[in-house]
Structure 1
C-alpha cells in the first residue's frame, strides 16, 4: 500500500549550445547498433532514493500476528487504515529552460523519487511453532515484494515524466513552457496514482491464492533441503 506522493517542482533558466560532429560509415553503424540497444532499455533515468524502516510486532499465533499488524502497522492516508506495510514517496522535478529571441524550450529535466518503505519485523518467540514461522516467512517476504513493486511503479513513471518533459517542443515564451511542463507533470502523476491503485486492487483480490501458492512453494523447498525448516 502506498501513500499519495508529494510533488515538488524546481525550475531554473539556462542556455544550451549544441555542436555537430562528422562521422564515417562505421561510426554510423555503431550508432545505429547503440540506438537499437537503448530502445530495449526501460524509459527514463530518473533518480531513486530509497530507505527502509521497520516496526516491531510480537505474538505466538497467526491470530496474534494478525492483531499486531492491524494495531501497529503504518496508517495510510489514502485509506485511513493501518496496513502490514506502506510506502511513502515524494517526487521532485527540476526543469531548466533555454530562452531565445522568439522561443523558450525545456533544456533539461531531472526527476527524483524519494521513497520510504515501512515493513514489519516479528519478534520471534524462542519456541515459536514451525507452522507459524513458515507462514510469517512467507507473509513478510510477500509484503516486502508488494512494497518494492510500489517503488518500481513510482520509478517507472518518474522516468516517463522525465522523458516527456525533455521531448516537449519549444513554446513562444518561458511562461508557456512552464505551463506545459506543469500540464505534463500533472497528467503523468495522475497516471501514476491510477497505476498504484490498480496494483493494490489486483493484489488484494489475489492475496489468498497467492499466499497459498507461496506457502506450497516454500514448503517444497524446505522438503528438498533448499531452505532451513
Structure 2
C-alpha cells in the first residue's frame, strides 16, 4: 500500500494553517495559553470604562471585550492508495487557543465591596473564555473523526476536495456553536452576576462569623 503525505488543500489555509506533522498519528494536538492586559480604575464606573477601552478588539464584533479567546486550527492529512483509490490514511488536527484576561492593578487597594464585584466579574470572564476554548477542543476532535470517516475517492484531487468540504462545514459548525454560546451568556448575564454576587457575599459573611 503506497503512502503519500499531502497538506490540506490551499483553499483551506485561511481556515486551517497547515503544519508538518507525523503521518503515523491521528491524535488531536491541543495547546492552550493565557495572556493578560492590565487596567486601572478605582470605582465601578472607572473599571467598566477601563474594560471597554483596554480589552481585546474582536474582528467579529468590531468592539473591545473584557476577555477573549484567540482560536487557530491547523493540521495535516495523509493520503494512501487503497485498491487503486485515494483514501485518507491519517488525519491530524491541531488547535491553539490563547485566552486573554483582564488584570486589575488596584485590586489589593480596593475596598471590600468593589473587590467583591471585581472578583466575581473576573472569575466569570475566565469561566466564559474557558468555555470558548472547550467548545473549540470538542470541534477539533470531531473534525478529525470526520476526516477519518471520509470514503475513498477515484483520485487524490477529489479526495482533497472532500477534505476541503468537510473542513469548511466543520469550521462553520464551530463558529455557530461559539456564537450560540455568546448569545446565551449575554441574555443571562445580569441574573448570573446577581446570583454569583449573592453567593460570594454569603460565603464572605460566613467566614466573618
TM-score after normalising by structure 2: 0.86
Q: CA RMSD in A?
A: 2.2
How big is the shift at 1:170?
Answer: 1.1
How big is the shift at 1:93?
Answer: 2.2
What is the CA deviation profile of residues 157-204 of structure 1, one whole-angstrom value per residue up to 9, with x for unaligned ones?
011000110111111111111111111111011000000111111111
Matched with 2:3 is none
**5+ residue gaps in structure 2?**
1-13
Matched with 2:96 is 114
CA contact (8 A) 2:30 2:137 kept: yes
Change (3 A) 1:125 1:156: closer
Give the Cα–Cα distance (whole angstroms) in 1 for the partners of residues 137 and 128 of structure 2. 15
Give the Cα–Cα distance (whole angstroms) in 2 for the partners of residues 184 and 125 of structure 1. 47
CA contact (8 A) 1:86 1:119 kept: yes
Aligned length: 194
Matched with 2:181 is 199
Matched with 1:128 is 110
Give the Cα–Cα distance (whole angstroms) in 1 for the partners of residues 114 and 97 of structure 2. 31
Q: Secondary structure at the match of 1:133?
A: helix
Q: 1:183 aligns with which of 165, 180, 188?
A: 165
CA contact (8 A) 1:105 1:170 kept: yes
More deviation, 124-133/181-190: 124-133
Give the Cα–Cα distance (whole angstroms) in 2 for the partners of residues 203 and 187 of structure 1. 25
TM-score after normalising by structure 1: 0.79
Matched with 1:59 is 41
Q: 2:77 aligns with which of 95, 105, 111?
A: 95
Matched with 1:8 is 17
Change (3 A) 1:101 1:125: closer
The answer to whether 1:172 aligns with 2:154 is yes
CA contact (8 A) 1:98 1:105 kept: yes
Give the Cα–Cα distance (whole angstroms) in 2 for the partners of residues 130 and 64 of structure 1. 16
How big is the shift at 1:126?
Answer: 5.0
